[in-house]
Amino acid sequence: MVQTINTAELVELLANQQVDLVDVRDHQEWQSGHIPGSRVIPLEVFRADPDAAISHGSIIVFVCAKGIRSMTAAKLAERFGYANIYNLEGGSKEWASAGLPLVVLERVAA
């Protein structure tokens, strides 16, 4: 079952558990500001092969900007038989609104 958590619950979970924090936005969105410790797996990539992206037995928290794409990913993971699936309510926008840090990566000119 997909569980929805808020930012305070995610902070507590990250402090007390080993968590696979998966951001399903595209690379550009992720670079513009993401939760520390998250890794980017765009939703389209995740949809193509969920088993290549995540591991069974892990606590997995899906994140996007507002919580919509991440809920799609979480439900897909659930259909593939994954347990311990969470969706961050309000996404990275809610995280930032709570005053929590975001990592911003500068774009390198090509």
Instruction: Give tens-digit pLDDT for 19-40.
Output: 999 999 999 999 999 999 999 9
pLDDT given for residue 91 in this prediction:
98
Instruction: Kindly tell me if the per-residue pLDDT of 109 is higher than 60.
Output: no
pLDDT given for residue 49 in this prediction:
95
Is the separation of the CB atoms in 107 and 31 below 8 Å?
yes
Is the separation of the CB atoms in 25 and 64 below 8 Å?
yes
Instruction: Kindly tell me if the per-residue pLDDT of 108 is higher than 80.
Output: no
**Within-domain flag for 102:** no
**Within-domain flag for 108:** no
What range defines the domain where residue 42 resides? Answer: 2-97
Give the DSSP letter of residue 59: E
Percent of the chain residues topping a pLDDT of 90: 94
Give the DSSP letter of residue 105: P
| DSSP β-ladder status, 59-63 and 19-23 | parallel
Q: State how far the Cα of 71 lies from the Cα of 18, in Å rounded to an integer.
A: 21
Is the separation of the CB atoms in 25 and 40 below 8 Å?
yes
Query: Which residues are designated catalytic?
Result: 64
Cα angle 56-61-66, degrees, rounded to a multiple of 5: 145
> For the domain that residue 73 is a member of, what is the CATH number?
3.40.250.10
Segment 78-93, tens digit of pLDDT: 999 999 999 999 999 9
pLDDT given for residue 110 in this prediction:
55
**Within-domain flag for 73:** yes
